[in-house]
Structure 1
Amino acid sequence: MDEKLMSYQVGDKIEIFVLLKAAEVRTAKNNKRYIAFTFEDSSGEMGGMYWDASEQDIETFKAGKVVHLIGKREEYQSKPQIKISQLRTPNVGEPSDPGQFVTRAPMKKSEMVDEINQVMFEITNPTWNRLTRFLINKHQADFFDFPAAKTNHHAFEGGLAFHTISILRLAHSVCNQYPNVNAPLLYAAAILHDLGKTVELSDPITTQYTVAGNLIGHISLIDGELVEACQTLKLDPSSEDVILLRHMILAHHGLLEYGSPVRPQVLEAEILHDLDELDASIMAIQTSLDHTEPGEFSERLFGMDNRRFFEFEGTKNHEQDTKKPEN
């Protein structure tokens, strides 16, 4: 019973406790209802269909609950999935705490808090520093717990802060390489660019889009909060410093069709967009390759134009070679 969800291979029988990360009730062509599940434990997540779901099934197996799953790992359209044989709720004394089954960032929360706080001292422009501190403090409880997305990349507890820190580390490298880049502007925007996801998304366990997330989106949400913060802090929202910071956030998706109301028109905005894309892409590919055997192709990645990525033997060997010896 110590097996993890992602350790099972195609054809293996699965018997394990897992979290129902998502449970979407749908209707099949025969007008019978079924539940599209996303199962999760600390190793990752995998989908499965529960056919001919009764009213009691729909009421019992809701997102956020821990269940005992028996089934078989299969593959459908190059994606792993589970053929469900049996599903039940835990008995007394069996695992039932959802927090034991979520995937988490590879950094401790305290470490992420410390790293963000250290970067704050590098934001030497008073306007950018005050706005960044104000908004991070306002959303701190969720910022360090929420994922960076529902799916695709950094979709785990703490993923939002970890994604932000990854971009900040890349930004430091860029600023060291190109001294003329305005580092304080880039760092402030990197910290704030996805902060609206604390409003766009519901929670770190059964992550869904909120009404505000669906109707407004995280870019516009945090831009609105920036303007409100200016009023609270008695800053001029029409000043160049504020306009530049707002532009950085509004343009960070790069293209209008990707949700940005404007395209990057200052150097630092283009850099932030590029670093955001780079980190998201690397994380999405790495996450998939973590569950891909050497010599095989990964599942198709929706966020990467449905491409599959090849896991070669040298990758695993390189990971072993670069690991630091334990003390």
Structure 2
Amino acid sequence: MAKKLFDYQLDETVDGYFLLKDSEVRIAKNGKKFLAINFQDTSGEISAKFWDASDQDVDHFQAGRVVHLHGKRENYQGNPQIKIQQMRLTHAGEPQDVQQFVEHAPLNSDTMQEAINQYVFAITEPNWNRIVRRLLTKYHDDFFNYPAAKKNHHAFAGGLAYHTLSILKLAQAVSEQYPHVNRALLYAGAILHDMGKTIEMSGPVSTTYTLAGNLVGHIVLIDEQIVEACQQLKIDEQSESVLLLRHMILAHHGLLEYGSPVRPHIMEAEILHDLDELDASIQMMQTSIGHAEPGTYTERIFAMDGRNFYRPLHDATKGDQPEQGD
């Protein structure tokens, strides 16, 4: 069986077929072009530099193409990296289906759809329920297929719905612990909070940001869709219920410098922000820890202040439990 990217150990020769998830042209200090690359397969992604790239190289090695790679697994500043020795596009008869190299959510779309629908039933406020149903229907296919991010948390096919479902499960636990929380509002906000990423991003393969994503962003994009849904459904967009729902979306990044146009000013908005942060952080740590050997540290996680995390020798995630008496 062919090795995956993260099966290769430090200093081991890498030889196999991988997807170019990203391939960006940059200029080195010597003035020559190079490609900043992220190789991907179902085990994850690892970065690389293709130095002294010719115009032909730039044309050949574009994001979304499958290549045969010969190189070496290295570390650079605490992060895994591939030193490219040889690279070419695949030939006829070799792997070329990009879907073979795309990481997917642990749950399939049908399972996630059924689970999320149960939470929709619990949104008892009529305006919120109608708006959520309208937008879930409108963006259904992309919502259950897109990643939740290009690079950091839940950056895999189906990651958007998986992240949403994770937050809903956390929201259910919080609302059971704290009965005064408006469960229906929290569920509605959780389902819609990242739905704008279906407009912000290009899709699950070699994900890029769309023009609207770069210039407007997913928070404003889905807020616009909520207003449009209100107009179509004949709901007063200035009613308190709609303004509360819009606030949930607009405030979910928590801070102005993180992209929210307003900070949370209702309890449910603060909870949604906290749960969003919690789920994203756990996913990033879990992914990195899964790539580290017991007794070692993970790569540095840029989105978590560049920190790395220690994987204990007796790691419960792989059943490495201490013996009796240890």
2:28 match: 28
Deviations for 1:60-88, whole angstroms, at most 9, x for unmatched residues? 11100111110000000101000001111
| Paired amino acid for 2:248 | M
- Separation (CA, whole Å) in 2 of partners of 1:18 and 1:285: 24
1:311 match: 311
- Separation (CA, whole Å) in 1 of partners of 2:238 and 2:252: 20
1:230 match: 230
Is 1:57 the counterpart of 2:57 in the alignment? yes
| Paired amino acid for 2:101 | F
Deviations for 1:230-274, whole angstroms, at most 9, x for unmatched residues? 100000000010000000110001111111111111111111000
The alpha-carbon deviation at position 319 of structure 1 amounts to 3.8
1:252 match: 252
The alpha-carbon deviation at position 314 of structure 1 amounts to 2.5
The alpha-carbon deviation at position 56 of structure 1 amounts to 1.1
2:83 match: 83
| Paired amino acid for 1:79 | N
Is 1:320 the counterpart of 2:304 in the alignment? no
- Separation (CA, whole Å) in 1 of partners of 2:232 and 2:318: 48
> Where do 1:63-212 residues align within 5 Å?
63-212=63-212
Gaps of 5+ in 1: 323-327
Instruction: Give the secondary structure class of the aligned counterpart of 2:62.
Output: coil
| Paired amino acid for 2:174 | V
1:325 match: none
Instruction: Give the secondary structure class of the aligned counterpart of 1:198.
Output: helix
Deviations for 1:214-240, whole angstroms, at most 9, x for unmatched residues? 111110111111111110000000001
The alpha-carbon deviation at position 152 of structure 1 amounts to 1.2
- Separation (CA, whole Å) in 1 of partners of 2:163 and 2:60: 34
Gaps of 5+ in 2: 322-326
| Paired amino acid for 2:120 | M
The alpha-carbon deviation at position 109 of structure 1 amounts to 1.1
Is 1:216 the counterpart of 2:216 in the alignment? yes
- Separation (CA, whole Å) in 1 of partners of 2:42 and 2:255: 34
Length-normalised TM-score, structure 1: 0.96
- Separation (CA, whole Å) in 2 of partners of 1:261 and 1:89: 44
The alpha-carbon deviation at position 295 of structure 1 amounts to 1.2
Instruction: Give the secondary structure class of the aligned counterpart of 1:71.
Output: strand
Residues 69, 318 of structure 1: alpha-carbon distance in 2 compared, 3 angstrom cutoff = closer
> Where do 1:216-295 residues align within 5 Å?
216-295=216-295
Contact 2:314 2:320 (8 Å CA) reproduced: no
| Paired amino acid for 1:120 | V
The alpha-carbon deviation at position 197 of structure 1 amounts to 0.5
Instruction: Give the secondary structure class of the aligned counterpart of 1:313.
Output: coil
Deviations for 1:157-190, whole angstroms, at most 9, x for unmatched residues? 1100000000000001001111111101100100
Count the aligned residue pairs.
321
2:298 match: 298
| Paired amino acid for 1:81 | Q
- Separation (CA, whole Å) in 2 of partners of 1:318 and 1:252: 30
The alpha-carbon deviation at position 297 of structure 1 amounts to 1.0
- Separation (CA, whole Å) in 2 of partners of 1:36 and 1:238: 47
The alpha-carbon deviation at position 26 of structure 1 amounts to 0.7
Length-normalised TM-score, structure 2: 0.97
Instruction: Give the secondary structure class of the aligned counterpart of 2:314.
Output: helix
- Separation (CA, whole Å) in 1 of partners of 2:48 and 2:143: 30
Instruction: Give the secondary structure class of the aligned counterpart of 2:80.
Output: strand
| Paired amino acid for 1:178 | Y
Instruction: Give the secondary structure class of the aligned counterpart of 2:173.
Output: helix
Residues 129, 294 of structure 1: alpha-carbon distance in 2 compared, 3 angstrom cutoff = same
1:6 match: 6
- Separation (CA, whole Å) in 1 of partners of 2:68 and 2:112: 33
- Separation (CA, whole Å) in 2 of partners of 1:127 and 1:319: 45
Cα root mean square deviation, aligned: 1.1
- Separation (CA, whole Å) in 1 of partners of 2:195 and 2:121: 19
Contact 2:251 2:260 (8 Å CA) reproduced: yes
